[in-house]
Chains A and B, each alone.
Chain A
Amino acid sequence: MSVAATTPRFKANVHEALHDLRLQGALPHARNFIGRRADAAARLPEFDALRDSARAIKDHTLAHLDLYLEAYEKKVVEAGGHVHYARDSDEAVAVILGICKARDAKVVTKGKSMISEEIGLNAALEREGINAVETDLGEYVIQLRGEAPSHIIAPAIHVSRDDIEADFRRAHRDLAPDRDLSQPEQLLGEARAILRDRFLSADIGLTGANFLVAETGTSIIVTNEGNGDLTQILPKVHVVLASLEKITPTLNDVAQILRVLARSATGQDMSVYTTLSTGPRRPGDPDGPEEYHVVLLDNGRSATLGGPFAEMLRCIRCGACMNHCPVYHAVGGHAYGWVYPGPMGAVLTPLLIGVAEGGNLPNASTFCGRCEAVCPMRIPLPKLMRIWREREFARGLTSPFARAAIRLWAFFASRPTLYGLAVEPAMRLLARIGRRRGRFAWLPFAGGWTRGRDFPAPQGATFQSRWRAKSGATR
């Protein structure tokens, strides 16, 4: 079972987020990514060509996914690993619980994995009495707080330093209450020391994967902290949890995508640790896991291939779309109400939990297009959101008032002469009334707009009439 979504009450979530002063104080940190990504892209002349290359690789892979999956599976088995398939979240959880029980596992350390959020793994492990320990610093913080990630690569971006200090004092009761935690370094040092013990005592280490390589049967994680590495090399069992579309043909293909991944995500040229894991430890190896399992999750992705949303399967989870999204900047990630926030979440969520539950998200966009402009895989996110809006409308899920308003607008918009006759006099009237102040503090039928901001007064002529005048003059 997946995590329960609060997406249907998106409007209430947004209202709370906009009035949450702590959240509003933390959200500006997300904007730091914008300049970093721009600098990294500017430093590499081949950046845009690499985006095209990365896109072509993913399109080719998805069109041959069954065959690359077969090749990948064969290589994992050759290297001594095990591949498990899961149609949905429940099956993925059951497979992982089975691996835990076979080893009588008490403690599972975890590298960062959005798929584990998608399948609700931590709660499932805890129900079976297994201690799941998040080891990425941000994930550790939100686990202490009982929260979900609010960003796919910076999960605790909504939490302030002060809050982290309070969380650590509450959770780490064995430590001296009067210890100094005023500096970020001290918080990091405390988490490092506590998690070091967990790494060394874990029975199973679970990581996600950024790539699954068909050429070699390798899983790859890309991290900065090193927690994903300690998670997988210290316990006896390494479990990789990944979705189908992570399959990539060759190591050279991985190199292409790696060059756009970190730059788009954090503005780094390379993340600190890019780790290739192939099977369990080999004869003579002094360290590394004795067992290696890969759990491949479908959760509706295979049905997406070949359809209008197939392009979403190119997503490499860099987070650039949310880093550049004005809606994300205003409300943060939790308001989106499920696992994936921002523009990629607005497209992916209805795919994974249905448009009836997730339909609010594709509407939470100004269609400014920045997400598509920065997406390293060139996913047309606004177009895909528009398709969801059309489907929501076609299925009668939009409100009767909105449907009536859209129908009325469509009636005029598809009859240009009538549209001009209706709009031009109204605009002239509004321009005259608003001439003195240049703006309106209140307008009939526009209370939703004018409650929060003024509406600019029209300048007089409409676009249509000016266009007519201009093209008449040049003709």
Chain B
Amino acid sequence: MSARDEIFASIRRSLNVGPVDAPRRDAVVARLAQAPVGIIPRRGHGDAAERLATFKAEAERVQATVAEVATAADVPAEIARYLRENNLPATIRFGDDPRLADMPWAETALEVARGPSEGDDLNAVAAAFAGVAETGTLALVSGADNPTTLNFLPDNHFVVLFADDLVADLESVFARLREKYGPGALPRTVNFITGPSRSADIEQTLLLGAHGPRRLHVVVARGLS
């Protein structure tokens, strides 16, 4: 018997069930199809303004910084300001996301590079798939629009979050993912990011920038244009 067959046989022997058992199978099919939501904390809920306030407070609790701008057109200037004020080089890299590509980068002094990171970039920009108010979390999806390497290799990570994409909880992000990619399907990588990289492995001392970005700056754009 193959390892697979033997493991399934062992599970069924222990549970005292046969491979065909309609009520059990129905229960599983139903749960997978319906994906019931359980207990949802109230914290993330409220109207758009309350969600944004919660998102900001929670993200700042975990050492991210959050700036608000009126429209997408204001994003490059905000990123340029952040880099200037933190004495960081005026370079930036992002993927093919049209929401980023269409921003007026030429109006800033930023040097723009495109595509995935090879590991020698200091600063990267990504556009979030969604934000989660409950925990100040960002959801990013892989693909040419926002290459996953940009989320981890650069030192300073800028994430643009459009206010319409700020939802209450993880379950709302999953619902949006099902809507976009189809039921039971996901892109290769979905990154939920809550604050900059950290480690407490040296005597339980909190240090930022363990392997991923040392800084996480979220720019919330209230409108597209």
Residues of A at the B interface (CB closer than 8 Å) are: 26, 29, 32, 44-46, 49-50, 53, 57, 60, 63-71, 75, 79, 85-87, 91, 135-138, 141, 154-157, 160-161, 164, 184-185, 187-188, 192, 195-196, 199-200, 214-218, 224-227, 229-230, 233-234, 244, 249-253, 255-256, 258-259, 266, 268-282, 284-288, 296, 298, 302-307
Contact = CB atoms under 8 A, between A and B. Distances in A.
Given A87-B7, A229-B152, A229-B191, 4 more contacts: A188-B210, A224-B200, A229-B211, A278-B189
Contacts of B95: 286
28 contacts: A50-B39, A57-B38, A64-B27, A71-B28, A138-B201, A154-B204, A184-B203, A184-B207, A192-B209, A200-B119, A226-B212, A229-B191, A249-B28, A249-B35, A250-B35, A250-B36, A253-B35, A255-B169, A270-B194, A273-B197, A274-B137, A275-B192, A276-B190, A281-B142, A285-B144, A287-B142, A302-B10, A303-B14
Interface of B: 2-4, 6-8, 10-12, 14-17, 19, 24-25, 27-28, 31-32, 35-43, 58, 62, 95, 115-116, 119, 134-135, 137, 142-144, 147-149, 151-153, 169-171, 174, 177, 184-205, 207, 209-213
B192 A273 contact: yes
B182 to A, nearest CB: 10
A67 B25 contact: yes
A251 B174 contact: yes
Contacts of B151: 229
A137 B195 CA distance: 18
B24 A67 contact: yes
A266 B200 contact: yes
A287 B200 contact: no
Contacts of A277: 188-189
A287 B39 CA distance: 36
Contacts of A157: 204
Given A216-B186, A227-B210, A154 B38 contact: no
Q: Which 3 A-B pairs have the closest CB atoms?
A: A226-B212, A225-B210, A138-B201
Contact of A270 (B31, B135, B171): B135
Contacts of A285: 142-144, 147, 188
A203 to B, nearest CB: 16
B15 A269 contact: no
Contact of B193 (A44, A185, A273): A273
A416 B142 CA distance: 70
Contacts of B116: 286-287
Given A184-B202, A229-B148, A286-B147, A65 B11 contact: yes
Given A229-B151, A305-B11, A224 B190 contact: no
A25 B169 CA distance: 41
A272 B186 contact: no
B24 A26 contact: no
A274 B3 contact: no
Contact of B38 (A53, A272, A305): A53
A58 B116 CA distance: 38
A288 B188 contact: yes
A288 B3 contact: no
Contacts of B148: 229, 233, 287-288
A304 to B, nearest CB: 7
A188 B202 contact: yes
Contact of B190 (A135, A230, A275): A275
Question: Which of A70, A157, A218, A287 lies at the interface centre, i.e. has the most chain B CB atoms within 10 A of its CB?
Answer: A287
A416 B108 CA distance: 88
Question: Which of A86, A272, A282 lies at the interface centre, i.e. has the most chain B CB atoms within 10 A of its CB?
Answer: A272
Contacts of B39: 46, 49-50, 53, 256, 259
Nearest to A302: B10
Contact of B15 (A214, A286, A305): A305
A276 B119 contact: no
Contacts of A302: 7, 10-11, 14
A21 to B, nearest CB: 16
B31 A249 contact: yes
Nearest to A29: B204
A274 B37 CA distance: 19
Contacts of B144: 284-286
Question: Which of B115, B116, B142 lies at the interface centre, i.e. has the most chain A CB atoms within 10 A of its CB?
Answer: B142
Question: Which of A45, A75, A230, A270 lies at the interface centre, i.e. has the most chain B CB atoms within 10 A of its CB?
Answer: A270
Contacts of A44: 41, 43
Nearest to B17: A66
Contacts of A49: 39
A230 B152 contact: yes
Given A67-B24, A276-B190, A302-B10, A137 B143 contact: no
Given A53-B38, A252-B36, A287-B148, A270 B14 contact: no
A225 to B, nearest CB: 4
B186 A252 contact: no
Given A184-B202, A215-B184, A287-B149, A272 B194 contact: yes
A154 B10 CA distance: 34
A233 B35 contact: no
B100 to A, nearest CB: 15
Contacts of A298: 7, 10
B28 to A, nearest CB: 4
Contact of B189 (A45, A70, A233, A272): A233
A181 to B, nearest CB: 11
A305 to B, nearest CB: 4
A216 B29 CA distance: 13
B113 to A, nearest CB: 13
A196 B119 contact: yes
Contacts of B189: 233, 275-278, 288
